[in-house]
Structure 1
Amino acid sequence: KYWRFIEEASEELARHCSREITLCLLELKNKGVKITSGARLQDLVCGMLYMLKHGLTFQNRVLLAAIPEVDRCLPHENKIEVYFGVSSKVICMTENEVKLIFREFYHQV
């Protein structure tokens, strides 16, 4: 059996996800994070796609908006390598890294 997506993402949903991920990446850049390779960017974007399911807030700041609808359009996390060509560990690693960066920055402020 082949795993299938529950539904295809609409253009509006894709734009919304792209916008939120771009805003978060720009915020990371403003905090001094350097993304030096295409593979690194791919990992971050894939990780953030999965983070969109629940979003990310810190001290009442929305760092990555929640878009629960994205869950219906993404493959299960254990299939991420087949569909996106990145390890499933990327999801957890991205979430941990992004949280750490924002936590460190906002504790200094």
Structure 2
Amino acid sequence: MNVALEINNTYENFELAKDIMYFRVGDRGLVSFHGKNYHIKKRLSSDQMNELISDNFFFKVNTDCYVNLKKIMRIQDGRVYFEVKGTESRYTTITKLRQYRLKEIWQQQQKPREV
């Protein structure tokens, strides 16, 4: 019984920056969050949506999709690949125009900070 409660809490109380690889914005405030092994759809208010979109953890890769900068493994051939262990890689597509800018931002974050 405790296991079921823990799973339920994971789906209801996920942390965007830590748990979500990317999300897609749909009609009427419906947002689809994509994690390692799950997809969660939630309806958000316009204020919640604006806060989510303006978050520095996420980058807009096309008209309705935002990726988590901390979860990116590589950017290649119009795709953004995410950290997934095993043989399967999760990815989402990115427009060529935004691919160059995302690579710049992502590489700046990857550089070790000088002390």
Give the structure-1-normalised TM-score: 0.33
Structure with greater helix share of residues: 1
Give the structure-2-normalised TM-score: 0.31
Structure of higher CA gyration radius: 2
